[in-house]
Amino acid sequence: GQQVMQIPQYQHVQEGEDFTTYCNSSTTLSNIQWYKQRPGGHPVFLIQLVKSGEVKKQKRLTFQFGEAKKNSSLHITATQTTDVGTYFCAGPSGGSYIPTFGRGTSLIVHP
Amino acid sequence: NAGVTQTPKFQVLKTGQSMTLQCAQDMNHNSMYWYRQDPGMGLRLIYYSASEGTTDKGEVPNGYNVSRLNKREFSLRLESAAPSQTSVYFCASSETGSGGYTFGSGTRLTVV
């Protein structure tokens, strides 16, 4: 079955440093979605990428979808303590519309 | 708008007890989902409903049943709770096949 891997599992950064999490799928994805979950909270939808090679920005967050539509990345520039949380990628493949979620990358920002 | 509302927020059950987790959405979404989240395991799909009147198994359906009562409501039932079902349960909804999911605030279930 489809597998979606995220690395790293955890990342500690000093406030102001950059952060990147990577998402890799064993199969081609029809789209990729990114979510953020604050500690003790619920996942919140951030963005969806659909096109091969697509890049989208939301303020300090940059999302990329790979040319082969099997990988994606989320980059945060100059992290802030409000960026703390777990970032999940999710994507459907094989004709299904149901996305498979990665296990997430937990970001810890030290002030 | 409330979005996706889940009840209860917390629950402690004894092994063998039954309970139903309730979920309602007010966004007129066709699709609804139940996930469980365990430490280090991400979100695993239990059951989903693509539209009113239909339900399908997800990745981890054993020990659960669901009911899509109407377009707004999708409930998850544990008939005989087991300690392995201790988890955080999230309900979500979306337009079928498009856009992101809107999640409820979760139910933290402990089975002792």
pLDDT in tens, chain A (111 residues): 678 999 999 999 999 999 999 999 999 999 999 999 999 999 999 999 999 999 999 999 999 999 999 999 999 999 999 999 999 999 987 778 889 999 999 999 999
| SS3 at position B40 | coil
Best residue in B101, B105, B108 for a mutation probing chain A (most A CBs within 10 Å): B101
Q: Name which of A44, A48, A101 is nearest B99 (Cβ-Cβ).
A: A48
Closest approach of A22 to chain B, Cα-based (Å): 15
pLDDT tens digits for B86-95? 999 999 999 8
Q: Decide if B103 and A44 are in contact by the 8 Å CB cutoff.
A: yes
| Amino acid in position A85 | G
Confidence (pLDDT) at B98: 73
Residue A64 makes CB contacts below 8 A (sequence gap 6+) with A49, A53, A54, A55, A72, A73, A75
Instruction: List residues bridging with B92 in a β-sheet.
Output: B33, B103
Whether the CB-CB separation of B90 and A42 falls below 8 Å is answered with: yes
Confidence (pLDDT) at A33: 96
Residues in chain A, total: 111
Tokens of A11: 């990342």
Ramachandran region of residue A92, left (φ > 0), alpha (ψ -120 to 50) or beta?
A: beta
- B33 alpha carbon, distance to own chain's centre: 6
Which residue, among B23, B1, B17, B39, has the nearest Cα to B91 in the 3D structure? B23
Burial class (CB in 10 A: 0-12, 13-18, 19+), B84: exposed
Q: Is A38 on the interface with B (CB under 8 A)?
A: no
Q: Strands A4-7 and A55-58, how do they pair?
A: unpaired
Q: Which residues of chain B have pLDDT under 70?
A: 1
Q: Is B100 on the interface with A (CB under 8 A)?
A: yes
Confidence (pLDDT) at B95: 86
Best residue in B29, B103, B105 for a mutation probing chain A (most A CBs within 10 Å): B103
